[in-house]
Amino acid sequence: MDFIELLRKPWPWYVAGPLIGLTVPVLLLLGNKSFGISSSLRHICAAVIPANIPFFQYDWKKGIWNLFFVGGITLGGFVATFWLSNPDQIVISASTQQALAQLGVTDFRGLMPLDLFSVQNILSLKGLIFMVLGGFLVGFGTRYAGGCTSGHAIMGLSNLQWPSLVATISFMIGGFACTHLLFPVLFQLVK
């Protein structure tokens, strides 16, 4: 198997997980940096918004490495999507397909079901609720929790930070509640 073919295949959790986990000690050893993505939005806003908002008045240039990190993630996602995409169909468990089919989600081409994420649906009331309101709630929750799921679950837990444990448990409980309780109700209301 050549190198490109190896990159195209999904990597097992026991390879991908430790590679992600190793970013924490590497960042700490190379410059005492904390892993996290959500702080980059604050850095961008502080750099481009010429306002007297106290939250954005700090030396954002100290965190510029984070902007390069997020830029690398974006570039990597672009390369993976357009040059290294896996030609195999994404496997979704039969029980998940059945549960979604009961809600009317049946088109599973690509990474996201088109029944939810087509252009037509995004511009509808359903899209407004799921994308705009959902995006707002995710952004608000990230700011309120003092970081995103990756920052708390990967960086915070590895540093044994109590707030990160509470945040990660809350993210999981909220995700389960939304998936199993809120999503079916909302999906039926906006059909």
The CA dihedral of 172, 173, 175, 176, to the nearest 10 degrees, is 110
Model confidence over 127-168: pLDDT tens digits?
Answer: 777 788 888 888 888 888 888 888 888 888 888 889 989 989
Quick one: pLDDT at residue 191? 63
Q: Which residues of 31-47 are buried (b: 16+ CB within 10 A; e: fewer)?
A: eebebbbbbbebbeebe
Assess contact for 43 and 66: CB atoms under 8 A.
Answer: yes
Domain definitions of the chain by residue range: 1-88
The pTM of this model reads: 0.70
- For residue 74, what are its two tokens? 């974006």
pLDDT tens-place string over residues 64-114: 888 898 899 899 989 888 888 777 777 788 898 888 888 878 887 766 777
Statement: residue 121 has pLDDT above 80: no
Mean pLDDT in the chain?
83
